[in-house]
């Protein structure tokens, strides 16, 4: 792949889980070109892309989970403080606590 759109599509395909076929075609084309010493480069690029992509996804989902929990606990703390202050006449949700 000599241009950006094709390289982007290959990386997108790797992150979608279809990296085996692309890695095999890379290794096959390197072998046909007559430089079998570059096969480890294909392995490094594709396996590295999978590992970095999975790391990014796991960090993003972990921080998203932490954000959800922080918002949920902030809402619960607000509701309990409103109910403890005695503003139950204004709010219908004080019967929950």
pLDDT in tens, 27-78: 888 888 888 788 888 888 888 888 888 887 777 777 767 777 777 778 777 7
Which two three-digit tokens encode residue 20? 């085996």
Long-range contacts, 45-52 (Cβ 8 Å, 24+): 46/14, 46/19, 46/22, 47/23, 49/11, 49/14, 49/15, 49/19, 50/14, 50/15, 50/19
Number of domains within the chain: 1
11: domain range?
4-96
Q: Which residue has the higher pLDDT, 83 or 58?
A: 58
What is the arithmetic mean of pLDDT over 6-33? 82
pLDDT at 90 (0 to 100): 59
CB 80 within 8 A of CB 97: yes
Taking alpha carbons only, the member of 51, 96, 61 closest to residue 75 is 96
């Amino acid at each position: 792949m000599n241009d950006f759109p094709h390289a982007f599509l290959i990386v997108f395909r790797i992150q979608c889980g279809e990296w085996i076929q692309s890695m095999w075609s890379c290794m096959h084309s390197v072998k046909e070109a007559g430089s079998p010493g570059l096969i480890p480069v294909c392995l490094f690029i594709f396996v590295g892309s999978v590992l970095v992509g999975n790391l990014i996804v796991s960090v993003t989902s972990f921080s998203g989970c932490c954000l959800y929990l922080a918002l949920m606990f902030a809402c619960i703390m607000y509701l309990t403080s409103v109910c403890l202050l005695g503003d139950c006449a204004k709010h219908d949700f004080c019967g929950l606590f």
